[in-house]
Structure 1
Amino acid sequence: MELIINGGNAKSSAFEAIEAAKQHKYDLASFKLKEADDFLVKGHNSQTSMLTKAAENAENPNYNEEVPLIMVHAQDHIMTAIMFRDIANEFVELYKKIDLK
């Protein structure tokens, strides 16, 4: 659930960064992008912990890992959030350039 929550929060913060940039509030947009990054770091740390546990269990010859649907969903959330955060940064930079003209 941590992946889903942090992914969703990161995406929301990135969207808020775009909205701030639309209103010419670039300090707020930068803050929101940093906030998105912080959520992504939390999600990444959670993901790393799960992968480490899976790797430790994989050394057991009797271990048979089945990937639950919720894990696939969580991975989708975090990857979408990463991509959206990158796109949000591009939008913020674009709004800045438009304002300079």
Structure 2
Amino acid sequence: MSNEEILDELEMVVFGIVGHAGEAKGYAYKALALSEDGNFAEAEEMLKKCEEAVLKAHHIQTDLIQKEAGGNIMTITMLFVHAQDHLMTALSERELIKKMIKQNVRILELEKKLILK
């Protein structure tokens, strides 16, 4: 494989990870917004879409790890580091947003109790 082919492949990997990670973050934030309006079923659907996008990014990452374990060492570029940063941020934000949605469920339940008094 030529250097140009390797860089082209790396570019596709980078854009794949960044794209799927960005998609995951978008779904997570949409889920949070829906939960703030009490639309918990729709929020859950957005979280499922978030998980699917994260899985796609993770599969790209896993493929790279397997290639490297097989002896095909990839050149690490700032773009690749940037892609990894996007993925890790998406994972972190997903977990935080899941907790925030649980809090929104509790807040809504408490608000309902207060209104009924």
TM-score > 0.5, shorter chain as reference:
yes
Pairwise mapping of residues 79-98 of structure 1 onto structure 2 (< 5 A)?
79-98=88-107
SS in 1 for 2:28: helix
Instruction: Determine if the alignment matches structure 1 residue 5 to structure 2 residue 8.
Output: no
Amino acid at match of 1:84: E
Alignment of 1:1-101 (within 5 A): 1-57=15-71, 65-101=74-110
RMSD over equivalenced CA pairs, Å: 1.2
- Higher-Rg member (1/2): 2
The structural deviation recorded for 1:53 is 1.2
Structure 1's unaligned 5+ residue stretches are: none
Q: Name the aligned partner's letter for residue 5 of structure 1.
A: G
**CA drift at 1:57:** 2.2
Normalising by structure 1, report the TM-score: 0.89
The higher relative CO (CA closer than 8 Å, separation ≥ 6) is in 1
Task: Give, in whole Å, the separation in 2 of the partners of 1:55 and 1:92.
Answer: 38
Aligned identity (percent) is 26
Which of structure 1's runs of 4+ aligned residues deviate more than 4 A?
none
State the distance in 1 between where 2:40 and 2:34 align. Answer: 7
- Distance, in Å, in 1 between the alignment partners of 2:80 and 2:43 is 31
Deviations 1:16-41 (A, max 9, x none): 01000011100111111111111011
User: Counterparts of 1:27 and 1:92 in 2: how far apart (Å)?
Assistant: 11
